[in-house]
Amino acid sequence: MSFRALELGTADLKRARQFWVETMGLEELSSGPDFVTLAAGETRWTLWQSPTPLACAHFAFNVPENQFDAAVEWLRERVPLLASADGSETVFDFTHWNAHAVYFKDPDGNIAELIARHTLPSSRREQFELLGISEIGRVTSVVEQQRRYLNSPPYSLPDYCEGSETFRPVGDEEGLVILVQVGRPWYPDNTQLAAPVPFRVTFQSGAVYEGLA
């Protein structure tokens, strides 16, 4: 179930806007003294000024499944790529998800990802573009409880691939909530430990899910 909208905090709204609009090329749809709304592919993405420091968040953008090489080159021209914990790779082949991905950090220290999901042939394009935000990390001390909550109405999201007690993806290739145990190291470099971050996601169905600090 795809994300219609996502709201996420930032420690410095001016800096975040400059990065996402001027460096990454997202279209600015509207703005005010304490927010900016961007077009992240098909997702309306609102960044709001947080009055307090925030832990790092994780989110991912779907890219055309046949344009991954172009996505990597596009990203390399703009930001450093995040490497694996041992520094051996910056491009990741997730065979169990039938996907390829690359990671980077934004000025807030958030771990962002471009992912080409080869199970989505409908995402094929003639050229590279961001298709929409397809993942948001939900850090919690009760992974299993949150999984059951999202499995139930009004969300009715299925479990996605295999998970564990500390990592459970719920949803589908167009919209995944990644449930992560508090304190679990964030992939790919394992240098940051997961901590709760407030967010609000609106699914295409209209159902709203909030991550609470």
Q: Summarize pLDDT for 21-67 with one digit per residue, the tens.
A: 999 999 999 999 999 999 999 999 999 999 998 999 999 999 999 99
- Type of residue at 15: R
Return the CATH superfamily for domain 3-211. 2,3-Dihydroxybiphenyl 1,2-Dioxygenase, domain 1 (3.10.180.10)
Per residue in 146-192, pLDDT (tens digit) is 999 999 999 999 999 988 999 999 999 999 999 999 999 999 999 99
CA 132, CA 120: separation in Å to the nearest integer? 13
Q: What is the pLDDT of residues 53-111, one digit of tens each?
A: 899 999 999 999 999 999 999 999 999 999 999 999 999 999 999 999 999 999 999 99
Q: Would you tell me how many other CB atoms lie within 10 Å of the CB of residue 203? A: 20
How does strand 167-172 pair with strand 91-94?
unpaired
Give the global pTM. Answer: 0.96
Which has the closest alpha carbon to 190: 75, 59, 87, 106?
87
The domain limits of the chain are 3-211
